[in-house]
Amino acid sequence: MADHFYYPFEKDGRLNADRSSYDSLTEYEKYQLSFHPERPKYLDFLPLFHAVTECFDSPDFGACLIQTHRAVLDPGGVNLPVMLIGQQTGPTSNYGELLKAMADPEKVRKWNHGMPTPAAYRRATRAVRAASEEGRQIIVFVDTPGADPTEASEAGGIAWRIGDTIRALVEAKVPTLAIILNRACSGGAIALTGCDRVLALEYSTYLVITPEACSSILFHTRSRADEAASVSRITSREGLQFGIVDELIPEGDGPAHRNPDQTCKNVAAALIRHCDALHRLGSVALWERRVQRWKTMGHWDQIAEKQVRQVQHPVSRLPEPNQEGFIKRHSGCRDSSGQRYTEI
C-alpha cells in the first residue's frame, strides 16, 4: 500500500519548494492540487484551540460533513471563546489510513464524497445561532467539492438550508471569520464564506462551479476543463485580487500536504491576529463593515452574444446541415439504388 499520493506534476519535478513552480502548473493542475488528499483537513487544526468540545452532533446522513465544536482561542492571554464550524471532506488526511477507510463501503457512503447534506447545514446554522447567544466568535473552516446534489438532498431542502446558513452568518451578532483550507466550491462553500473576513491558504481554490461542469456549460464538452478553470479565475490568489479573499496564509516551503506542521502554525498566527482585531471592534463598527463588505463585493461585465459564441466553439458529434437543411446520416448510408440517405 502506498504511503503517499502523487499527482503526475509532482512526479515529474515541476512542483517543489520554490513557489514559482506553482505558477508553472496549468490552471486545472492548480485546482487538483487544492484537493490533494493529504492536505490538512479541519480536524487537523483542532489542536490549535483549547477546551474543545463537540456540539450539535447528529446521526442524520451527511451531518459529519460539517462538524461543530465549542473551544477557546488564546490571542495573547485573552482566552477568547469561539464556535468552530468545519467542513470535513473525509475521515483523515493520512493517505494510508484514508485508503483503508475508503475500502469500506459504509465509510464511503458516510463521507458522501465530501458533499454536505441538508443535515450538515442544519448543524452549521444551529452552531451560528448558538454562538450569537453565547457571545462566541465564529470561525469557519471551508473545504468542499460542493453541496450534495442528489434528489434526496433536493427533497430535503438543500438550497433552503444553504440560504439559511448564509442568512445566519450575515445576521450573527458576533464577529465571523472563514478560512478556505483546500477546495471551496459552489454553493456548498459559499454558504459558509459570508463572513466578516475570509482568509485562504495560498494554494487553495475558491470557485462557484467545478471546471468540468463549467466546461460542459461554456464549451459543451468536459475536455476543456483547464480552459474553463482559467476563464473562471478559481485560485484564492485571484480571489485576493478581486477582494473576496482578505488575506492569503502561506503554506511554508511548498504546498500544505508537504508542510502540514508549518501550515498549521501559519494558520494559528493568522487566526490570533484577525480574531483579536475583530474582538476589539465594537458591535456598531462590526455591522457597518459587514454591510460595506457585501455592498462592494462582485464584479460585472457585459459582452455581445457574438463574442460568447466565439469563445464557446461548441463540440458536437452531429454533422452540420447543408444549405437545404439536410443532414447526412453517415458516409456509408445509402438506399437500394445506391443513393445516399439524408434527412431534414
CATH code of the domain covering residue 186: 3.90.226.10
Query: Considering the chain, what percentage of its residues have pLDDT values greater than 90?
Result: 72
The mean predicted confidence, pLDDT, of the chain is 90
Q: Is residue 230 part of a domain?
A: yes
Do residue 284 and residue 331 come from a single domain? Answer: no
Answer whether residue 49 shows pLDDT above 60: yes
Do residue 208 and residue 343 come from a single domain? Answer: no
- Select the more confidently predicted residue: 22 or 264: 264
Specify the number of domains making up the chain: 2
Do residue 159 and residue 266 come from a single domain? Answer: yes
CA dihedral 331, 337, 341, 342 (to 10 degrees): 120
- Greatest mean pLDDT among 19-28, 154-163, 218-227 lies in 154-163
- Select the more confidently predicted residue: 315 or 233: 233
Q: Is residue 340 part of a domain?
A: yes
Do residue 336 and residue 266 come from a single domain? Answer: no
Answer whether residue 15 shows pLDDT above 90: no
Domain range for residue 75?
8-296
Answer whether residue 141 shows pLDDT above 80: yes
What is the reported pTM?
A: 0.86
Q: What is the pLDDT of residue 343?
A: 47
Half-sphere exposure (Cβ direction) of 50: Cα atoms closer than 13 Å: 9
Report how far residue 235's alpha carbon sits from residue 22's, in angstroms, rounded to the nearest whole number: 11
- Select the more confidently predicted residue: 339 or 3: 3
- Select the more confidently predicted residue: 321 or 234: 234
Average the pLDDT over each of 49-63, 135-149, 290-304 and give the range with the smallest value: 290-304
CA angle, residues 316, 317, 320, in degrees to nearest 5: 80
On whether the CB atoms of residues 249 and 199 are closer than 8 A, the answer is yes
Q: Is residue 302 part of a domain?
A: no
Average the pLDDT over each of 3-7, 40-44, 48-52 and give the range with the smallest value: 3-7
The band of 330, judged by pLDDT with boundaries at 50, 70 and 90, is low
Do residue 211 and residue 336 come from a single domain? Answer: no
Do residue 266 and residue 330 come from a single domain? Answer: no
pLDDT digits (tens, 9 = 90+) for 163-179: 999 999 999 999 999 99
The three three-digit cell numbers of residue 132, written as one number = 450569537
